[in-house]
């Protein structure tokens, strides 16, 4: 038994089961508010420490993202009576699956479908493999910095999509009655930076930030006040909405810094990731102010939608050029991660084809 417990995955699995049982029984029995929040702290602390078990950047970063960010944010939202863990009708197993896996109940009318997600995943797996081979080849080494960073952006889109959507078929089957949010909704078709972050790119994180940061700031209360169910957003000032949006981006920046720290085991980039996300609300404000000055006929023209897509992608990618990629490259997360992926692909190839 002691030998088995030396294996990081076995040890992690044991404490995950204990944490899940504690959350489903003890934490869930408390009323929303400070008591439920305080009772969640042991599990929150475990989810913060858990990724430190791993040295590989893919495992440390992946578990940091799923546990320290997503699972802890679900617990924080649950302490306020919000989020996927507060979805009515979840049994004990469903509650644990919702906590541990990268699922979030949909924030709109479009829920994830197992068949469509599975079909898309096969394409993304092939694209990720091809991009891995390209970036580790001589051709990849000879790329310009701009071209390489563009490939990195595409790679992260594919990797995050695979990480979040690969278990959707299981979730759709096991969590019937709880419609699940798709992770990606064609972010390359975004017509504004607000739409890119808020409605298309990594919507699991968007949902988590909405429940834990945006909504509490908007409401001025951790637990939704009774008056909110009557008034809703009516009467909320533009400055309060901007404050909530900025807070959500700042917390996103902080959590990206945390995930990179798990992979590097050091602070990398001098706060550039924080600055990248702090810059996004300013880009949104400038973009919307400029669009408001345009004649309605221009904004309604078909060609203008194409311009919007190009400008949106350019704004996101160019702001990332000096701020997002530098922290990853300084501690070689990019090359280490690609090396681990090549190692995985080689292992699969040898098992399947015996080569």
**Contact in structure between 39 and 27 (CB atoms under 8 Å):** yes
**Contact in structure between 272 and 322 (CB atoms under 8 Å):** yes
**Token pair recorded at residue 333:** 């997360």
**Token pair recorded at residue 193:** 């930076």
Residue-level pLDDT, tens digit, the chain, 355 residues: 555 556 777 888 899 999 999 999 999 999 999 999 999 999 999 999 999 989 999 999 999 999 999 999 999 999 999 999 999 889 999 999 999 999 898 876 566 565 566 677 888 889 999 999 999 999 888 999 999 999 999 999 999 998 888 888 788 778 877 888 888 889 999 999 999 999 999 999 999 999 999 999 998 889 888 766 556 677 788 889 999 999 999 999 999 999 999 999 888 788 999 999 999 999 999 999 999 999 999 999 999 999 999 999 999 999 999 899 999 999 999 999 999 999 988 888 887 776 5
Distance, CA of 196 to CA of 262 (rounded, Å): 26
**Contact in structure between 213 and 247 (CB atoms under 8 Å):** yes
Q: How many CB atoms lie within 10 A of CB 344?
A: 13
**Token pair recorded at residue 15:** 């404490």
pTM: 0.91
| DSSP track, 135-180 | HTSHHHHTS-HHHHHHHHHHHHHHHHHHHHHTTHHHHHHHTTTSPB
Distance, CA of 73 to CA of 56 (rounded, Å): 24
Say which DSSP state 227 is in.
Answer: T
| DSSP track, 75-143 | HHHHHTT-SGGG-TT--HHHHHHHHHSS--B-SSS----HHHHHHHHHHHHHHHHHHHHHHTSHHHHTS
Q: How many CB atoms lie within 10 A of CB 23?
A: 24
Question: Could you tell me which residues come within 8 angstroms of residue 173 by beta carbon, excluding any fewer than 6 positions away?
Answer: 114
Considering just the CA atoms, what is the radius of gyration of the chain in Å?
21
3-state secondary structure of 27: helix
Q: Which residues pair with 105 in a beta bridge?
A: 180
Look at the alpha carbons of 173, 81, 77, 31 in this order and tell me if their dihedral is positive or negative: negative
């Amino acid at each position: 038994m002691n030998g088995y417990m030396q294996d990081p995955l076995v040890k992690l699995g044991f404490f995950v089961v204990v944490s899940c049982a504690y959350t489903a029984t003890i934490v869930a029995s408390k009323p929303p508010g400070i008591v439920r929040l305080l009772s969640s702290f042991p599990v929150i602390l475990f989810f913060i420490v858990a990724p430190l078990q791993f040295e590989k950047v893919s495992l440390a970063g992946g578990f940091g993202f799923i546990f320290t960010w997503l699972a802890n944010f679900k617990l924080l939202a649950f302490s306020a009576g919000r989020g996927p863990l507060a979805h009515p009708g979840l049994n004990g197993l469903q509650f644990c699956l919702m906590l541990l896996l990268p699922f979030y109940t949909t924030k709109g009318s479009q829920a994830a479908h197992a068949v469509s997600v599975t079909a898309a995943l096969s394409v993304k797996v092939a694209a990720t493999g091809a991009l891995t081979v390209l970036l580790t080849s001589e051709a990849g080494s000879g790329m310009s910095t701009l071209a390489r960073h563009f490939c990195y952006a595409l790679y992260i889109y594919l990797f995050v999509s695979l990480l979040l959507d690969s278990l959707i078929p299981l979730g759709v089957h096991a969590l019937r009655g709880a419609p699940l949010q798709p992770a990606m909704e064609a972010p390359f078709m975004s017509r504004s930076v607000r739409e890119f972050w808020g409605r298309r790119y990594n919507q699991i994180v968007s949902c988590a930030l909405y429940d834990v940061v945006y909504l509490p700031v908007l409401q001025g209360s951790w637990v939704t006040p009774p008056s909110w169910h009557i008034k809703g957003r009516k009467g909320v000032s533009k400055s309060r909405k901007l404050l909530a949006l900025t807070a959500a981006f700042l917390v996103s920046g902080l959590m990206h810094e945390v995930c990179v720290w798990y992979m590097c085991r050091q602070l990398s980039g001098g706060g550039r990731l924080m600055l990248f996300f702090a810059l996004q609300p300013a880009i949104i404000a400038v973009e919307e102010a400029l669009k408001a000055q345009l004649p309605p006929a221009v904004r309604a023209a078909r060609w203008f939608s194409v311009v919007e897509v190009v400008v949106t992608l350019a704004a996101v990618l160019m702001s990332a050029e000096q701020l997002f990629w530098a922290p990853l490259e300084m501690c070689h997360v990019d090359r280490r991660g690609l090396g681990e992926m090549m190692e995985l692909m080689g292992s699969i190839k040898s098992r399947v084809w015996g080569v």
